[in-house]
Amino acid sequence: MTLNEKLSAQLKNNNIMKPIPIFVGYDPREAIAYHTCVNSIIRNSSRPVAIVPVALNLFRDYSETHTDGSNHFIYTRFLVPHLMQYEGWAIFIDGDMIVRGDIAELWELRDSYKDVMVVKHDYKTCRTEKYLGAKNEDYPRKNWSSVILWNCNSHPNRRLTSEFVQKATGAELHRFSWLLDERIGELPPEWNWLPDEYGPNPDAKLLHYTLGTPCFHEFADTPQGNEWHRERMLTDYCQQRLPE
């Protein structure tokens, strides 16, 4: 019996719900974005969650060889199945997001006949430059990999070793080229809504500030940016003892 199986059996025997494994992209240049994102997950979840930061400095068997990309987790996100020891399911989300809905609802959309499940965006960007001057080019399946329900146990995803990710191109990874198209499941668009590209959506379950998190001054007033600022204030909150 593997460690995960032992843990699952113990949790079941104790009538405890197993936490949802959620990997969140971390970039030290916008650390507040990660913490705000995590706070939104915890506040709105109806189930226990296990949050894992996808921070480049935490990887010991992976050395970043790519020289492109706008954030520090642009390629390490594809190591989630490896980190899960190719067992079970996991969620990956970028750190420049806030979750407005219950992450357990996203978790319930898992389909065992799919290798991954994503929101299948099809759009042309409104800006050619992102935060910190990063290029923002259009390409097929743009932003599909920013929210991923990973079937870590699927045979094709076992190809995602550290060596494979190091050698693969960005196009190969972000377009899920190692998978058959019919094995890429589709999530509802409200689970990866781009308010700075699509405009406001009051029904969105997850807001993705893909051009720039509102922590950057030039994106402070982005559509639905006020919701991010509110979440940040809740992240900073500390209850004070009232004077006697």
**Terminal Cα-to-Cα distance of the chain (whole angstroms):** 56
pLDDT digits (tens, 9 = 90+) for 61-92: 767 665 555 667 788 999 999 999 999 999 99
> Residue 70: its pLDDT value, please?
60
Instruction: Summarize the confidence of residues 109-122 as an average pLDDT.
Output: 97
233-244 pLDDT tens trace = 999 998 888 887
pLDDT, one tens digit per residue, over 177-194 is 999 999 999 999 999 999
pLDDT at 32: 96
Q: What's 135's DSSP letter?
A: B
- pLDDT (mean) for 159-167: 92
Per the CB < 8 A criterion, the answer to whether 171 and 145 are in contact is no
The reported pLDDT for the residue numbered 178 is 97
- In order of 93, 115, 175, 185, 237, the CA distances from 181 in angstroms are 21, 10, 10, 9, 44
Alpha-carbon distance 163 to 160, whole Å? 8
List pLDDT tens digits, range 5-59: 655 665 555 556 899 999 999 999 999 999 999 999 999 999 999 999 998 888 8
The answer on pLDDT for 136 being more than 90 is no
State the average pLDDT for the chain: 89
Q: Which two tokens stand for residue 8?
A: 């699952």
Count each helix (H run) and each strand (E run) in the chain, helices first: 8, 8
Is 173's pLDDT higher than 90?
yes
CB 95 within 8 A of CB 24: yes
- Residue 149, classed as helix, strand or coil, is strand
| Positive or negative: CA dihedral 107, 86, 25, 65 | negative
Q: Given this model, what pLDDT does residue 61 score?
A: 76
Phi and psi (nearest 5°) for 7? -65, -40
